């Protein structure tokens, strides 16, 4: 059995319903940049150049690596999902604003490492 909790009525504060995600947060999540393409065939989340992770994290000390990359023989992720960049740890990227990616979309593929963010653009010095 699935329990569905109604949304708070207009004027009701989210704190009155702590299990409800405020509309502001939902619109922010919907605005995160999509992973437009992932050409890393060896990733468990990749299916026909499409990422099926709910969200990816970009990190790494050298290249802007996809920290969500998992090289397993088992496929994972969600069947019907448009993956988004959930976090970007690369403060040296011109698209990074408070650890969030501001690019319209990102491409993941082979760079110096197996799975890199190909949209990474170094911030001018």
Given this model, what pLDDT does residue 28 score? 64
**Residues in a beta bridge with 123:** none
φ, ψ for residue 80, nearest 5 deg: -115, 90
Q: Tell me the pLDDT tens digit for each residue of 11-31.
A: 555 455 455 454 544 446 678
Q: Which residue has the tokens 């989210």?
A: 14
Given this model, what pLDDT does residue 11 score? 57
Judge whether 117 and 62 are in contact, CB under 8 Å.
no
Given this model, what pLDDT does residue 31 score? 82
| Domain map (residue ranges) of the chain | 33-117
Q: Tell me the pLDDT tens digit for each residue of 96-124.
A: 999 999 999 999 999 888 899 999 999 99
Given this model, what pLDDT does residue 3 score? 41
Given this model, what pLDDT does residue 30 score? 72
């Amino acid at each position: 059995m699935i329990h569905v909790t109604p949304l708070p009525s207009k004027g009701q504060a989210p704190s009155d319903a702590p299990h409800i995600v405020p509309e502001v947060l939902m619109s922010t999540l919907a605005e995160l940049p999509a992973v437009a393409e992932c050409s890393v065939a060896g990733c468990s989340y990749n299916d026909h150049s499409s990422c099926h992770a709910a969200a990816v994290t970009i990190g790494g000390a050298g290249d802007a690596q996809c920290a969500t990359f998992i090289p397993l023989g088992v496929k994972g992720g969600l069947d019907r999902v448009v993956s988004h960049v959930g976090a970007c740890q690369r403060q040296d990227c011109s698209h990074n604003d408070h650890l969030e990616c501001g690019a319209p979309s990102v491409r993941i593929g082979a760079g110096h490492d197996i799975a890199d963010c190909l949209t990474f653009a170094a911030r001018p010095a």
